[in-house]
Amino acid sequence: MTDRATTSPRARFAPSPTGYFHVGSARAALFNWLFVRRLGGTFILRIEDTDAARNRPEWTDGIISALDWLGMAPDEGPYFQSDQDAVHQAAIEALWAAGALYACACTREEIDARTEARAAAGDPTPGYDGHCRNLGLPRGEGRALRFRTPDEGTVTVRDLVRGDVEFPLRALEDFICVKSDGKPLFVLANAVDDRTMAITHVIRGEDQLPTTPRQILLWNALNGAEGLALALPAYAHLPLLVNEQGKKLSKRRDPVAVEMYREQGYLPAAFRNYLALLGWSPGPEEIVPLETITERFRLEDVQRSPAFFDIKKLGHFNGVYIRDLPVDGFVAAARPWVDPAPGEWAPGEWRDPDTGSPAVMPAPWPPGRFEPSTFNSLAAVTQERVALLSDVPALVDFLFLPDAPEDPASWQKAVAGDELAPKLLADALAAYEDCPWEKDSLHEVTLEMAEEAGRKLGKAQAPIRVAVMGRTTGLPLFDSLAVLGRDETLRRINVALSRLAAAP
């Protein structure tokens, strides 16, 4: 028997390409990746694509792209389960020859009818009753192949997270391994592929724990049928991810697509750091470098209880990571949202599966109006105010739109609804005509206007901000005016005054 303890670990991440890349899958991939990175092992990507009716190439591309974005490109793969058909069929033949499988002609309706009859007679045992086990039916079209599960004893899953978990064999039905069309089901294909790829550790979600006894039974049967006694991999079943109601994260109910979070502007380092905390802790501090996470990660320290996927906390992490970037790093990170380069990734591809809506709308200014040097001038103050990179366009759009952005609520509150707004705008127009055009001078003359009007600076500058920048909140006014320029600032104030004069 192979002593897997003496070999470097080989862990596989084996997603099915049947939808957007789920955050739970990303967490499982990360824990596999961290485990082998700490021990100098191999991280393998295996795409389980045998469900041809549900698989789509874009889902596979999404998995590979997301892993690359997160900095977790596989050491081996992607391998595709569909390419292993010959190996699967050889395993089926060996199991059949060894008597571990038998043919079953029962339909689902027949099984359900017998289950109901047993229940009516006082036997509530659900599932398949072994009807065809001893009939000696030959294999043939329309007949599935079932595994001959032992009647007595237990299967023990030795789990690095949960300890020993025992499953009584009398509770395990003779499960189907091969569909009636001859194709292996997940439980068999998985066991065969893990053997073929010399997988030493199976690290996956706890929702797959109930399938593990079946895979252990198949593994042991294959040892005998193939005459190759391979040691079982070590298992680690990770806690479920739940929402704020404590319910398992659902694609139908919760925002779970990794692609969506990427488009909204979460940094991969922040997203990865937060995923690592979903069922595990690096210590008293939570926001820590990847090197620290990798050094401290142990499967034995993973918690058993469900982990709350807290979007607010993730947003906080992202804001911290954004603010920790050097300014030129922030400029580079924000580029896909403000000035996407041809041929490079940019937000806009992800669509909500229910509504078809994108996660992020494109930048609101016309093509060709973006000026990198202008953006760079305000990058530092922008960086301080965003938690998501997708928030950046709304903070700087006033620089690149032909006119100030329109926000009716801001206009009503700070301009149309303020009886002093016409005077403050007119005073600003006069003061800004000839003052030095830099932020400190702009601040000084506006403060003088505020004092003359008997207002605090914040209240006095509000009409100017909305006239020039479109909203009551945003970047610092005087930094913004200095970059926008005198001529454009004065033009927009004049437009606002004309609009007020024309209002009934």
Q: In this predicted model, which residue has the larger pLDDT, 504 or 497? A: 497
What is the Cα–Cα distance from 271 to 318, expressed in whole angstroms?
Answer: 7
What is the Cα–Cα distance from 192 to 458, expressed in whole angstroms?
Answer: 69
- Tell me the pLDDT tens digit for each residue of 268-318: 999 999 999 999 999 999 999 999 999 999 999 999 999 999 999 999 999
Q: How confident is the model at residue 28 (pLDDT cuts 50, 70, 90)?
A: very high
Q: How confident is the model at residue 50 (pLDDT cuts 50, 70, 90)?
A: confident
Per the prediction, the chain carries an average pLDDT of: 95
What is the Cα–Cα distance from 157 to 165, expressed in whole angstroms?
Answer: 5
What is the Cα–Cα distance from 495 to 402, expressed in whole angstroms?
Answer: 12
Q: How confident is the model at residue 503 (pLDDT cuts 50, 70, 90)?
A: confident
Task: Burial-class residue 213 by CB neighbours within 10 Å (0-12, 13-18, 19+).
Answer: buried
- Tell me the pLDDT tens digit for each residue of 148-196: 999 999 999 999 999 999 999 998 999 999 999 999 999 999 999 999 9
Q: State whether residue 351 is helix, strand or coil.
A: strand
What are the φ/ψ torsions at residue 472 (nearest 5 degrees)? -80, -15
Question: Catalytic one among 251, 423, 439, 459?
Answer: 251
Q: How confident is the model at residue 423 (pLDDT cuts 50, 70, 90)?
A: very high
- Whether the pLDDT of residue 245 is over 50: the answer is yes
What mean pLDDT do residues 434-458 have? Answer: 96
Give the pLDDT of residue 246: 93
Q: What share of the chain is helix, strand, coil (3-state, %, to 5)?
A: 50, 10, 40
Q: How confident is the model at residue 3 (pLDDT cuts 50, 70, 90)?
A: very low
What mean pLDDT do residues 258-268 have? Answer: 97
Lowest-pLDDT choice from 112-121, 212-221, 331-340: 112-121
β-strand pairing of 76-80 with 42-47? parallel
- Do 431 and 493 touch, CB atoms closer than 8 A? no
Give the pLDDT of residue 495: 98
Q: Which CATH superfamily groups domain 4-241?
A: HUPs (3.40.50.620)
Gyration radius of the chain's alpha carbons: 31
Q: Report the share of the chain in percent with pLDDT over 90.
A: 88
- Whether the pLDDT of residue 2 is over 80: the answer is no
* Residue the block writes with tokens 């692609």: 259
Secondary structure E strands in 48-200 = 76-80, 101-104, 144-147, 154-159, 163-168, 176-178
* pTM of this structure: 0.93
Residues with Cβ within 8 Å of residue 220, at least 6 apart in sequence: none
Q: State whether residue 183 is helix, strand or coil.
A: coil
- Do 467 and 416 touch, CB atoms closer than 8 A? no
- Whether the pLDDT of residue 6 is over 80: the answer is no
List the domain boundaries for the chain: 4-241, 403-502
- 131 token code pair: 């009807």
Distances (CA, A) of 364 to 384, 402, 491: 22, 11, 21
- Whether the pLDDT of residue 99 is over 80: the answer is yes
**459 classed as catalytic:** no
In angstroms, how far is CA 239 from the centroid of its own chain? 16
Q: State whether residue 91 is helix, strand or coil.
A: helix
What mean pLDDT do residues 238-246 have? Answer: 95
What is the Cα–Cα distance from 440 to 411, expressed in whole angstroms?
Answer: 26
Q: Which fold has domain 403-502?
A: Arc Repressor Mutant, subunit A (1.10.10)
Give the pLDDT of residue 106: 95
- 114 token code pair: 């017998």
What is the Cα–Cα distance from 213 to 205, expressed in whole angstroms?
Answer: 15
The HSE-up count of residue 258 (CA atoms within 13 Å, CB side) is 30
Task: Burial-class residue 322 by CB neighbours within 10 Å (0-12, 13-18, 19+).
Answer: buried
Give the pLDDT of residue 47: 96
Residues with Cβ within 8 Å of residue 299, at least 6 apart in sequence: 31, 35, 160, 161, 201, 203, 236
